[in-house]
Amino acid sequence: MNAIRPVARRAKSLSSTLGFGEKLFTSGDERRFAAAVEEGLEAVEARLVLEMSFADDLADVTSRYLLDAGGKRVRPTLALMTAQLGDGNNDAVIAAAEAIEVIHLASLYHDDVMDEAQMRRGVPSAQSVWGNSVAILTGDLLFARASKIVAGLGEEAIRLQADTFERLCLGQLHETIGPGDGEDPIAHYLGVLADKTGSLIAAAAQTGAVLSGAPLEYRTAVTAYGEKIGVAFQLVDDIIDLAPPVDETGKNAGTDLRSGVATLPLLYLRRLAEIDSDADELLTRIEHNVNVADLGHADDADLTAAIAELREHEVTRQTRAEAHRWAREAVEAIRPLPPGPVKKALTQFAESIVERSN
Ligand code: FPP
Ligand code: MG
């Protein structure tokens, strides 16, 4: 039943996965770096396919579902890139890169249940196929599997995994309950993004450096870098959320806003609405329509028009500027790295994250 499948899904090159121009890797050093990361990714992919096997037919199918649906493998790629600061793709680096992708996958199963998401990676979300219980248990199984892999990597890795898991859960929890009394909603939101996304990306960058034996100051630098690009990535997501649909997934512009998530453009709009009546009017139209949508009385045309206005609004430009600021800080964080392909690729990656449009 658990036949080994070919490792053929990663047809994309490293450059296209990370949004680099194909001409990024030109010198011999750079080409060797790119080849090492590509090779590492093939090894990770092969292990991922083998690892999604639970001696249970249903669990095998449900756990492979989102893996097979796609994904950019950003976290393993980062781990492999930072491993090139030390002795490269050793067994521990490959295993850790795999475990981090499995943790990420696990979190997606749970997140889609919490968000009641219909689609993920272009396919119906797991819980809309099998129901909430199966989706939650699949996430748990994957997390258990990741823990088994990390158990072989030593105490530092186990502790990092536990700390990261804690931050992922706290990020989700804080997002769910919202800011406390007297807490600044924007600072709260940025904290949520750092915890729910920055922490795992930071862990990926850190693990590659630690398990390859890279110098201590490089480890600290790439960890800070990972956290900051994680926040930049999520902020760009907030802008992309406002874009009109470009495919046949049936997603409306403003999916997050419609489901009640206060993304950064909306938080900026709320702040501006306290002193600006036009902003207040736009905010009222959005919030009124989102609230009545719950009761099935929303005027969809009005909400769509209001979201289009928000897309062109100053607050969305401010959100983009904030994403750029996090990306710039990420690049500043890796200043201690030696000049060379790793620094170049990480710099380019930070820039491509804030330029992406999907
Ligand atoms: C996606 O955010 C969600 C995350 C980045 C983290 C989810 C974390 C958990 C569910 C807790 C950890 C659980 C396990 C099993 C490791 P989003 O909803 O803003 O993004 P989306 O558009 O991709 O859904
Ligand atoms: Mg979600």
Q: 15-40 pLDDT, tens per residue?
A: 666 666 556 778 889 999 999 999 99
Residues in the chain: 358
CA distance 15 to 22: 6
pTM for this model (two decimals): 0.92
Q: CA quadruple 96, 100, 101, 103: dihedral positive or negative?
A: positive
| Residue in 103, 107, 238 to alter for ligand 1 test, most ligand atoms within 8 A of Cβ | 107
- 6: confidence class by pLDDT, cuts 50, 70, 90: very low
Cβ(268) to ligand 1 under 6 A? no
Cβ(111) to ligand 1 under 6 A? yes
User: Is there a contact between 208 and 79 (Cβ–Cβ < 8 Å)?
Assistant: yes
Nearest alpha carbon, ligand 1 atom 7:
107
What does the pLDDT average to over 251-280? 90
Letter for the amino acid at 47? R
Q: Does domain 28-353 have CATH number 1.10.600.10?
A: yes
Cβ(107) to ligand 1 under 6 A? yes
Cβ(168) to ligand 1 under 6 A? yes
CA 99 to chain centre: 15
pLDDT of residue 17: 63
Of 198, 231, 209, the closest CA to residue 334 belongs to: 209
Cβ neighbour number for residue 55 with a 10 Å cutoff: 8
Cβ(139) to ligand 1 under 6 A? yes
CA distance 241 to 257: 8
Nearest alpha carbon, ligand 1 atom 17:
111
Letter for the amino acid at 265? P
- 47: confidence class by pLDDT, cuts 50, 70, 90: very high
Looking at residue 215, the DSSP 8-state letter turns out to be: -
User: Is there a contact between 85 and 209 (Cβ–Cβ < 8 Å)?
Assistant: yes
Cβ(330) to ligand 1 under 6 A? no
Nearest alpha carbon, ligand 1 atom 9:
107
User: Is there a contact between 208 and 83 (Cβ–Cβ < 8 Å)?
Assistant: yes
